[in-house]
Structure 1
Amino acid sequence: MHSRCMTRHFPLMAWRHMKIGFLFNHDCTHQVPHTAPIISELAAMGQDVTVITSTAAQEAHVRKTIAACAQRVTYARIDIGPLSRAINTVARAVVPFRRIANLRENIDLFAGFDALVVPETTSALLKSHFNLDVRLIYLPHGAGDRSIGFRDVTRFFDLVLLPGAKTRDRMLHKNLIRPGHHAVVGYPKFDTVDMTARPRFFDNDRPTVLYNPHFDPVLSSWWDMGIEVLEWFARQDDYNLIFAPHVMLFRRRLHTSVEHRRIRLRRRIPERLRNLSHIRIDTGSQNSVDMSYVLAADIYLGDASSQVYEWIARPRPCIFINSHHARWRDNPNYAHWNMGQVIEGVDELPHALAVACDRQRLFAARQQAAFDATFHTVPGETAAHRAAKEIVTFLCKDKPSAQ
């Protein structure tokens, strides 16, 4: 499903022309579907929209997402100089150096916009460290519970667009957002997905498990138990397995968690596990980010990924691996673990899978309640449309002289 590009009529104030940039500054494309659908809506309003990307893959993904509107926006590519590229070769193992350098070295481009819309918080450096006078608008690329999504850096954004009441209330509780500078709009990524689709990736009728570990060196089950999980599935013939981790897990070998002060070297997948008919290994294709696997599988197996909230758009069994012995009960950082079984090791996996469908009767209501709290929806209206209206309304009020 892609946004259609049709001219929309709004009150006079909304027709003041703004120069709005959509910045995609990441190594992968997984953040694109969270804000790109809004581009179509702003273009339909007649706004001056520029798509700013740091890779050709990001631009291609944006063009595909906005489809009919692709020719009605401008495109710009940002890059870093030779010295920064040399430094990045070493520094990228510890910090997102290239992303930061992209911000610093393209300040003149960013200064030409009334606002920049971003799906991540690294862009806050434009205000906090690089003194750029531009309106920063933030829509998180996911709706998960990890503490990293609720940091003080959120205060640097002029407008924060939120998926639902859960995220809004937690940010308000921590004083990260303020009245007049935030709005609940929903989840634009859902606008691009056919939620009735049921992709098939195996030629049998076995239940399919989606194993979706995060990349965080502490929170992810991959580091201590991931290979063991794959080996267990390789030995059995009752289930299919889709191994589709967070796309950043296999993007680099060395992972650093600044939040948890941990550095770990990612393990390689043994070749003996790669060519089995009942196991599909995908370390970062388009299927990993467009919900194809989420819609195809029957049971979710994971840990800290926000993708579980996309999963419960259609409530189904969930199993979470507590590989780091977290005290998760009553902890908001692990709220999603209340939506399924929690196991401490791979030895508990066979039983958890065997009872997953029966136990789902206990968790279905929790999953539905969590979905309703996490994602704001309005029948007949898209999240991208609501987000576009909030952006234009905010900019017109914040900069009434804009023409």
Structure 2
Amino acid sequence: MTSIPRMQIGFLFNHDCIHQIAHTAPIICELVALGQDVSVVTSCDAQERQVRAIIAGCAARVRFIHIDISRLSRAINVVAKAVLPFRRIANLRENVGLFARFDALVVPETTSALLRSHFNLDVRLVYLPHGAGDRAIGFRDVTRFFDLVLLPGTKTRDRMLAGGLVRPGHHAVIGYPKFDIIDMGARPRFFDNDRPTVLYNPHFDPVLSSWWDMGLGVLEWFARQDDYNLIFAPHVMLFRRWLHTSVEHRRIRCRWPIPERLRNLSHILIDTGSTRSVDMSYVLAADIYLGDASSQVYEWICNPRPCIFLNSHGARWQGNPSYAHWNMGQVIDRVSALPRALAVAQEQQAAFARHQRAAFAATFHIEAGGSAARRAAREIVYYLLQDKRAAA
């Protein structure tokens, strides 16, 4: 690939938070190294800062573009954001002319498919899922609108193939670019004691998340005891909004604040959305995972450790691929069962460790000495070259 033609490749980050950035940003420097012209398109300053931090080595060779929406759209968003991602959609619709300049646009989420399905954009769309979880929403028909889908491992690939969401020549397994920028051997410390540390990582979905019906009960229980530390680091979107709408489950719920009495305890760390919530700091620091539907559990099992899952919505999860991760630990359906689950977590881990290792191997393609970001860059360039030859 030393004499390949230069192409214009854009990386679009169009979300309210920064949690998607690490899934595609590591690819940028690899494309620059292949001689490609790369632009980073962001919709807020926090996104640009995060991208620059990740690609510091090549940032000077990358063009940064900030997009925004009209004054009228901003006014509509004040009301509309409660029920749909209006600002994200408006950013796509109002910047189609900019996106049309690229040969390809690389994205970590599926809202961008609207560029093809509704806004008639004739640009190759490259999609890398931001995470490697099991939720049904990650396996929707919208995936078919993407020209190239780059996947973390065989688990996701096989499920997408079975659903007819990807097709030969238009997908590839490349691994997990986020792992390329993480020191997987790090063990951060956040408490000045030797108690086991539990990471509570609820999702934001109004139905699937344990936060709505069990979350405060979990925090209250940890506040009263002195055997464990707790890191409360939910999905960053949970505390981004007061009102959460699930289009998937047709449910709207209001999120209440955390009582002040729980915020200043020496054995509880509460982080509702900092960079540490998305850079695996807490995943690498804790001893026991407590969660529900977040794909972060698959990052957790990079080092097999006990998991406890909260079934707050009465899910019939056995045999359901959308709950496959619940096979990696204990599943409980009430807060009163938590003390016992924690007490036997290390003892029962022996029964779950083999499954966790197998699940990690199926979820993430890893090559010794290899780089997921480099494989992704090569797949993108190869696909675009083939596409141009076919069109000639």
What TM-score bracket applies, with the shorter chain setting the length?
over 0.9
Deviations 1:46-67 (A, max 9, x none): 1000000001110010010011
Aligned-partner Cα distance in 1 for 2:384–2:37 = 13
User: Structure 2: 5+ residue runs without aligned partners?
Assistant: none
3-state SS in 2 of match to 1:148: helix
Aligned-partner Cα distance in 2 for 1:43–1:169 = 31
Aligned-partner Cα distance in 2 for 1:313–1:207 = 18
For 2:10, the aligned partner's letter is G
Q: TM-score, normalised by structure 2?
A: 0.99
Equivalent residue for 2:14, pick from 18, 25, 31: 25
Deviations 1:316-364 (A, max 9, x none): 0000000000000000000000000000110000000000000000000
What residue in structure 2 maps to residue 3 of structure 1? none
Equivalent residue for 2:347, pick from 358, 365, 369: 358
What residue in structure 2 maps to residue 236 of structure 1? 225
Equivalent residue for 1:143, pick from 120, 132, 135: 132
Equivalent residue for 2:372, pick from 383, 387, 400: 383
3-state SS in 2 of match to 1:385: helix
Does the 8 Å contact 1:18/1:402 carry over to 2? no
Report 1:20-169 matches (<5 A).
Answer: 20-169=9-158
State the 1:227 CA deviation. 0.3
What residue in structure 2 maps to residue 4 of structure 1? none
What residue in structure 1 maps to residue 286 of structure 2? 297
What residue in structure 2 maps to residue 248 of structure 1? 237
For 1:32, the aligned partner's letter is I
What residue in structure 2 maps to residue 373 of structure 1? 362
What residue in structure 1 maps to residue 260 of structure 2? 271
Q: Cα–Cα, structure 1 residues 43 and 11, in superposed 2: closer, same or farther, change >3 Å? A: closer
User: Within the alignment, does 1:260 sit opposite 2:256 as a pair?
Assistant: no
Aligned-partner Cα distance in 2 for 1:68–1:184 = 26
Aligned-partner Cα distance in 2 for 1:378–1:394 = 21
Aligned-partner Cα distance in 1 for 2:314–2:228 = 27
User: Within the alignment, does 1:393 sit opposite 2:369 as a pair?
Assistant: no
Does the 8 Å contact 2:8/2:37 carry over to 1? yes
Aligned-partner Cα distance in 2 for 1:317–1:40 = 36
3-state SS in 2 of match to 1:211: strand
For 1:136, the aligned partner's letter is L
User: Within the alignment, does 1:337 sit opposite 2:326 as a pair?
Assistant: yes
Deviates more, 1:392-401 or 1:345-354: 392-401
Does the 8 Å contact 1:322/1:342 carry over to 2? yes
3-state SS in 1 of match to 2:75: helix
Does the 8 Å contact 2:2/2:34 carry over to 1? no
3-state SS in 1 of match to 2:200: strand
Deviations 1:81-134 (A, max 9, x none): 000000000000100000000000001100000000000000000000000000
State the 1:176 CA deviation. 0.2
Aligned-partner Cα distance in 1 for 2:261–2:64 = 44
User: Structure 1: 5+ residue runs without aligned partners?
Assistant: 1-9
Aligned-partner Cα distance in 2 for 1:296–1:304 = 20
Aligned-partner Cα distance in 2 for 1:19–1:313 = 35
Does the 8 Å contact 1:17/1:402 carry over to 2? no
What residue in structure 2 maps to residue 316 of structure 1? 305
Aligned-partner Cα distance in 2 for 1:122–1:324 = 27
3-state SS in 2 of match to 1:376: coil
Aligned-partner Cα distance in 2 for 1:174–1:11 = 37
Identity %: 77
What residue in structure 2 maps to residue 306 of structure 1? 295
Number of residue pairs aligned between Structure 1 and Structure 2:
392
State the 1:402 CA deviation. 9.6
Does the 8 Å contact 1:16/1:402 carry over to 2? no
Does the 8 Å contact 2:233/2:277 carry over to 1? yes
Does the 8 Å contact 1:53/1:76 carry over to 2? yes
What residue in structure 1 maps to residue 171 of structure 2? 182
What residue in structure 2 maps to residue 6 of structure 1? none
3-state SS in 2 of match to 1:233: helix
User: Within the alignment, does 1:201 sit opposite 2:190 as a pair?
Assistant: yes
For 2:204, the aligned partner's letter is F
Aligned-partner Cα distance in 1 for 2:279–2:56 = 15
Aligned-partner Cα distance in 1 for 2:154–2:78 = 41
Aligned-partner Cα distance in 2 for 1:305–1:193 = 19
State the 1:268 CA deviation. 1.0
3-state SS in 2 of match to 1:26: coil
For 2:236, the aligned partner's letter is V
For 1:274, the aligned partner's letter is R
For 1:49, the aligned partner's letter is V
What residue in structure 2 maps to residue 7 of structure 1? none
CA-based RMSD: 1.0
State the 1:16 CA deviation. 1.2
For 2:198, the aligned partner's letter is V
Does the 8 Å contact 2:132/2:363 carry over to 1? yes
3-state SS in 2 of match to 1:231: helix
State the 1:400 CA deviation. 2.5
3-state SS in 1 of match to 2:231: strand
Aligned-partner Cα distance in 2 for 1:100–1:172 = 28
